[in-house]
Structure 1
């Protein structure tokens, strides 16, 4: 429901804030007071096109903000219109678009009497209304579940047909990749070991030269070993002559032993050196092979082996694919037979319900002062791109085999036409009211706004419209503009719209009036003058009492 509407600098409105209640709310006021401007402002926050010429003269921006309550959650919509044509939309404080706004609000409010926001003027919604009226929702749900399964199987078959060649190509590629990786017989960490070996092999000649230099320094005549030997002999002689030298003499002896150990290691090291150019070539080739695999399958040997595992799994799935095209086509045929049976059962029920709905709508319209109106529920078989056409030429969609549209003729002798082509706003609003009354349980739109619903009405017809508006208000929020006291008297909430002067300029004001003020306003509407008689006041009280008492009879 709409709980609040705030408008600034829009047409005749300087600044107003309206609190809307539950039930049936009526807006009344003198002609030209600005009642329709309020509906226009509401249309803006429902996603209507914004026009800069609606900005109040002397201002650069108009602001309209509305709060909607949906399942206990607040949705705050703000629309700003600029003089230069730019406009901004906010939903709960976040920038949005007209498209997103319409999607968010479309199921919350319907405005009737215009050609916007009217689900009943949209043929795509007529089928939904008819199914609800006929009590077919559960049966349609069963059909839709089957239809989804049918489409899934059909799409699977189409995918299989398209993918058979691709699947064979993929299998060939996977087999080649698996064979290439397995043939390499990779070992985790192998590349790092080979890198170290390559570094060593590339430096082999230099290492041998350095080792030989070490050997020469140690073992050649006059080398370190000879000199340390002579040093050691001298130190031993000195230690015999002076005991204080004995410790240092021992160190020279240790140095000699260390040099001999180094000499032994170097001799063994030189003997172990093997600078086979063929081995270097083998290492280079192996590393090149690993590098190629890394470029293809991953940056490390671990990545390559992981890819190998996944490739084997994918190849296994492709080779063991059990769901054949023949199996699926057999399943599709079974589903299609089930769909036909359910769809034609639904179609039969729809056609039976359509006749009843036609009679009830025409009866309602007669009560609303539209005698002679013909209302037709047209049901045809589906066709076109969206439908799955079977061998009989019948098209199946997610809703069955039927295409439903509501047609109406408001003048005797004229053939029924789509509802959107009904010219009179007042007639259109009453048709909608009749449908809403009959389909009240079928349509769950929480807020209905009727503009021009009382055009051309009077007497008993006006009372019938008033009764239905109040009855609808007992089930959801209903808002309407009215010039008729009969309709205003039946409202649960009454808003009075007035045009006043402020600073030499006309402004529109809106006030929620009390029960006593409501009596006075209805009396004014009865008499057509600001000064009302006691008789008019009494008639107004009686009308309000009749409205309240009508609740007991529902």
Structure 2
């Protein structure tokens, strides 16, 4: 609910801080005292249109701060968290309007756009009056309101799930169809490219392997010359092998005479002979692996250049050619399998469509039943509000074609009214006059008291053009609504004012030659005096005071 409202330099309001309460809160005062200024200021904090004329004459800027107490799961708090803003125990909306018309908006002291402020504000307060209305007057809200009233959340959930499943299959079918169309358009290219890559038969890592072998072959003569020289040094007539073998024979013949001192030497020479034999074998293996045939180098270079040319042609690396080959072959296979795949997806889409349609039709049937109950309940509220000749109807009609279907079903829902017998019904905002409109909204809100999450309702002069028993009926319904909502009502009716749980008087005062608007909370005696003034006019009589006391007593 709205917990506090702070206003600075808005039109005739210089400094004003108000603490609000739950239940029915009434604001009264003489015509022209500034009640509309109060609502304009609240609208500014909620993201309404900012006009430089709202800035008090002589001030540089106007500011309005509205503080709300909300449960953590309220939609406004969800919006705040969704936008990455800090969410606290209270939600503070602030708007600053400069004299040059520039505007700044804040949520919990964090700068935001006015559009976001308005979105949050619409989830917190609904204003119903002669000149400004939103909430139920927006036809886009009617379908959700009817579903909530009818307890159709389960049916609506099933329709949304079925819609999502159908959309998912349809998206898969559309994607497959697009892929097949693209594949068909490039079928000749695919066949040619796959044939080329099949003939080339590239392997991952082949380029690096070929480049290494090519480098060896390009230096083959110098390598062989070095290898042959090394072999001669190790294995020739005067090579290391013969020298080590000769040394071993010589030492072995006299080893038994050296009392073991030559054993380490002989063991070392044995190891050297073994290592040398391995090195010679490896050297011979390297020598035999080098192909000195010029045609081998030529073939290897042709293969390497072919791989690189194919990579350039397809805009990829040589190592990626095998994967590209598999991808192109898959796209080609898709063309061949397209009939079966599309047929399966088409069958799945048809089944998903039927499932969605069944869920949507069940939801539609529930809406029609709920519409009948809603119309009957609203009709019962209209006669006491001097709207006995008016007719309220909830129109549930199928959307035009599948283009109108969606996650919320296949219906269009609208609340319409006819204020005169025989007149065709039309949208609330276009058919009803200012006073009638506010009373229609009151009747709807009373019926829908448990529906919706907007905690604060504002009714601006809902009593216009009525009095007596009708005004009392309006007050009774506002008080009933105040049991479940915070209701702010601007009224000239003593019957409505007497029903309030809290009462403020809006008044003008002149200070230092300047006229200012102030708002005063009225304790019980002053409240009785204010209602007496509303009853009697300029001169408050004892009879008016007695009547005021009687009205206040009757509310209990």
Structure 1 length as normaliser, TM-score? 0.73
3-state secondary structure, aligned to 1:442: coil
Quick check: 1:109–1:117 contact (8 Å CA) kept in 2?
no
2:17 aligned counterpart, secondary structure: strand
User: Is the Cα–Cα contact under 8 Å of residues 307 and 318 in structure 2 kept in the other structure?
Assistant: no
Check 1:425–1:169 CA distance in 2 against 1; reply closer, same or farther (3 A cut): same
Residue from 498, 503, 508 that aligns with 1:494: 503
Number of residue pairs matched? 488
- Cα separation, partners in 2 of 1:172 and 1:520, compared to 1, 3 Å: farther
Report how far residue 348 of structure 1 moved: 4.5
Q: Pick the aligned partner of 2:551 from 534, 537, 543.
A: 543
1:196-223 Cα shifts (integer Å, max 9, x gaps): 6666766789x69x99xx99xxxxxxxx
Alignment of 1:154-233 (within 5 A): 154-168=170-184, 191-192=207-208, 194-195=210-211
Q: Does 1:422 align with 2:431?
A: yes
- How many angstroms does 1:434 deviate by? 0.3
Alpha-carbon RMSD: 4.2
Partner of 1:380: 397
Q: Residue 2 of structure 2 corresponds to which residue in structure 1?
A: 2
Q: 2:211, 2:509 → 1: CA distance?
A: 93
Q: How much has 1:505 moved relative to structure 2?
A: 1.6
The 1:182/1:359 distance shift into structure 2, 3 A limit, reads same
Q: How does 1:338-357 map to 2 (within 5 A)?
A: 338-339=355-356, 343-357=360-374
Aligned CA distance change for structure 1 residues 187 and 381 (closer, same or farther; 3 Å): closer
Are residue 82 (structure 1) and residue 98 (structure 2) matched? Answer: yes
Kindly tell me: are residues 199 and 353 of structure 1, through their superposed partners in 2, closer, same or farther at Cα, counting changes over 3 Å? Answer: closer
**Residue range with higher mean Cα deviation, 520-529 or 471-480:** 520-529
Which moves more between the two structures, 466-475 or 491-500?
A: 491-500
Deviation, structure 1 residue 367: 0.9
Give the structure 2 partner of residue 506 of structure 1.
515
* 2:36 matched residue in structure 1: 36
The verdict on how the C-alpha distance between 1:178 and 1:332 changes in structure 2, with shifts beyond 3 A counting, is closer
* Contact 1:24–1:470 (Cα < 8 Å) also in 2: yes
CA contact (8 A) 2:104 2:114 kept: no
| 8 A Cα contact 2:419 2:432, kept in partner | no
Match of 2:527 in 1: 518
After TM superposition, the structure 1 stretch with the greater mean CA deviation from structure 2, 460-469 or 373-382, is 373-382
1:443 is the counterpart of 2:452: yes
Q: Is 1:25 matched up with 2:33?
A: no
**Structure 2: how far apart are the matches of 1:193 and 1:333?**
54
Give the match's secondary structure for 1:324: helix
The equivalent residue for 2:417 is 408
On the 8 A contact 2:95/2:105 being kept in 1, the answer is yes
Contact residue 55 and residue 81 of structure 1 kept, 8 A: yes
Q: State which of 371, 374, 377 in structure 2 corresponds to 1:360.
A: 377
**Residue 148 of structure 1 is aligned with which of 155, 160, 164?**
164
Q: Distance in 2 between matches of 1:282 and 1:517?
A: 110
Is 1:371 paired with 2:380? no
Change (3 A) 1:317 1:163: closer
Q: Aligned equivalents of 2:450 and 2:514: distance in 1? A: 47
Partners of 2:342 and 2:216 lie apart in 1 by 60
* Structure 2 CA distance for partners of 1:459 and 1:201, relative to 1, 3 Å: same
8 Å contact kept, 1:297–1:307: no
1:229 maps to: none
Q: 1:521 to 1:400 in 2, by over 3 A?
A: same
User: What is the CA–CA distance in structure 1 between the aligned matches of 2:289 and 2:380, rounded to whole Å?
Assistant: 113
Q: Deviations over 1:38-78 (max 9, x none)?
A: 11122223332221222211233222232334433543322
Query: What is the distance in 2 between the residues matched to 1:409 and 1:271?
Result: 105
Deviations 1:221-278 (CA, angstroms, capped at 9, x unpaired) = xxxxxxxxxxxxxxxxxxxxxxxxxxxxxxxxxxxxxxxxxxxxxxx99999988765
Distance 2:361 2:211 in 1: 76
Structure 2 CA distance for partners of 1:448 and 1:177, relative to 1, 3 Å: farther
Determine if contact 1:297/1:304 at 8 Å carries over to the other structure: no
Verify the 8 A CA contact 1:35 1:481 in the aligned structure 2. Answer: yes
1:311–1:331 CA distance, 2 compared to 1 (3 A): closer
Q: TM-score, normalised by structure 2?
A: 0.73
Distance, in Å, in 2 between the alignment partners of 1:121 and 1:137 is: 22
Where do 5+ consecutive residues of structure 1 fail to align? 216-267, 388-395, 550-554
Aligned ranges 1:51-70 → 2 under 5 Å? 51-70=51-70
Query: What SS does the corresponding residue of 2:136 show, helix, strand or coil?
Result: helix
Q: Could you say which residue in structure 2 is the equivalent of 1:98?
A: 114
Give the Cα–Cα distance (whole angstroms) in 2 for the partners of residues 294 and 511 of structure 1.
84
Contact kept, 8 Å, 1:106 with 1:117, in 2: the verdict is no
In the alignment, what sits opposite 1:121?
137
Contact 1:382–1:397, Cα closer than 8 Å, also in 2: no
- Map 1:255-266 to 2 at 5 A: none
**Given the superposition, is the C-alpha separation of residues 386 and 108 from structure 1 closer, same or farther in structure 2, using an over 3 Å criterion?**
farther
Q: Give CA deviations for 1:402-454 in whole Å, capped at 9, x if unaligned.
A: 33322222234533322111352221111000011112123332221111211
